[in-house]
Structure 1
Amino acid sequence: MDRFLSNTVSRIDAKGRVSVPAHFRAVVQKRGYSELYALRCLDLPAMDVGGLDLLDRYEQRIAQEDPFLQTADDMSFFCHGDGAFLKLDQDGRITMTDFIREHTGISAEVAFVGRGNFFQIWEPARLAAYGAQARARLLQLRQGTKAHEAKAGERPE
């Protein structure tokens, strides 16, 4: 498997380090990442973490922007200047820096959440609240789809 999947919570040690889940480390190794890069989520108290391909995704989008417009500068600041490198130590741990803690609210535990080609770092209670909200939005969408199908005379199987 070469995707970041599932979620787990790990405790931060006395030196401020946390073990990256073994299955996430396996993906990191398989993809050949020597370092990880963490970006603040724009609208969530979480960090997006991945290899240089995570930056590539943003850089491709920046390349589509007019370089003379503020949007290109803002996007470049976001992905190039408002992130942090995370180094895995020999035991597969990363340090929870002030940069990460201030944005996420992390204190004693870290929730790791797979997002396919990258993963996120969350404070566990905030992740639980977000998960409940996401499920509620999806349920509402599903119910809206069923109502639309009923109005159109379709019968779901």
Structure 2
Amino acid sequence: MVPAVLPSIWLGYASVAAGGAVFNDVHLNGVDLKGRVSLPAAFRQTIDIRSGSPKVASGLGRTLRMTFNAALKCIEVSDGLQIAETEEQMNAHAVRVSEQTGELVGDVLDRLEAETYPLMKDVNFDTAGRMVLPDRLRAKAQIGNDAFFVGRGRRFRIWSPEVLRAAAGGESGDVLEEMEDLLAKRKERG
């Protein structure tokens, strides 16, 4: 349920939803030996809608930016719209810090960018949604034969089912239940 009056913290996110196009639901897809996996069709549809935003740079429609979440041990994924929103937020934050400290905006941005971008990987997917998970990210997230996709609104996560089971507070109990159901159904099909 959405409150009648949104707290000011939520106002900055109102435009991020791109008319309600957010990453939701959970999906389980197999990963082959080369690290290829299919992006869930529902996520591809969301990306197509979100990439129509004027904020998204030309050519970023089929590009995902991935990074390893060290605290959760999963892969965090942003699409072109979230990439643009992150850049806007970093610039605004740099201006605020500059105003408070007298530091040059460029210096603040340099520091923020150094903390944010070096270990991110850009991954492209084809029209069928096939993509290759970067080896380093896949190894760090311990993703083997299965990739469990979890919609998180503006972003999504890719988990190893085994790691998610062990992650305290990584996702809700209902999400874990959904994952176990999907794994059981896959096992039944053989």
TM-score (norm 2): 0.60
Residue equivalent to 2:25: 6
SS in 1 for 2:121: strand
1:27 counterpart residue number: 46
The answer to whether the Cα contact below 8 Å between 2:35 and 2:135 also exists between their aligned partners in 1 is no
CA contact (8 A) 1:38 1:85 kept: yes
Alpha-carbon distance, 1:5 to partner = 0.6
Q: CA RMSD in A?
A: 2.7
1:118/1:78 CA distance change after superposition, 3 Å: same
Amino acid at match of 2:132: T
Asked if the contact 1:2/1:30 (under 8 Å) is kept, the reply is yes
Structure 1 window deviating more from structure 2 (15-24 vs 39-48): it is: 39-48
Structure 1 distance, partners of 2:25, 2:154, is 12
Please point out which of 149, 155, 161 is paired with 1:124: 161
SS across alignment from 1:81: coil
Match of 1:37 in 2: 65
Aligned-pair CA distance for 1:45: 0.9
Q: Which range is displaced more, 56-65 or 27-36?
A: 56-65
Q: 1:130 to 1:59 in 2, by over 3 A?
A: same
- Is the alpha carbon distance of 1:42 and 1:87 closer, same or farther for their aligned partners in structure 2, counting shifts above 3 Å? same
Alignment CA distance shift 1:29-1:7 (3 Å): same
The number of equivalent residue pairs is 136
8 Å contact from structure 1 (residues 48, 121) kept in 2: yes
Choose from 37, 56, 59 the match for 1:18: 37
For the 8 Å contact 1:9–1:124, the answer to whether it is kept is no
Establish whether residue 50 from structure 1 lines up as the match of residue 78 from structure 2: yes
Q: Aligned partner of 2:161: which letter?
A: P
Any idea what the Cα deviations from partners look like across 1:60-109, whole Å, max 9, x if unmatched? 44332446699755531243211011111232111022122122111111
Q: Which residue of 2 aligns with 1:59?
A: 87
CA distance in 2, matches of 1:74, 1:46: 25
CA gap of 1:71–1:36, structure 2 versus 1, over 3 A, is same
**Structure 2 contact 62–126 (Cα < 8 Å) conserved:** no
**Matched residues, percent identical?**
25
- Quote the residue 1:91 is aligned against: 128
One-letter amino acid of the counterpart of residue 42, structure 2: H
The amino acid that maps onto 1:46 is C
Gaps of 5+ in 1: 137-157
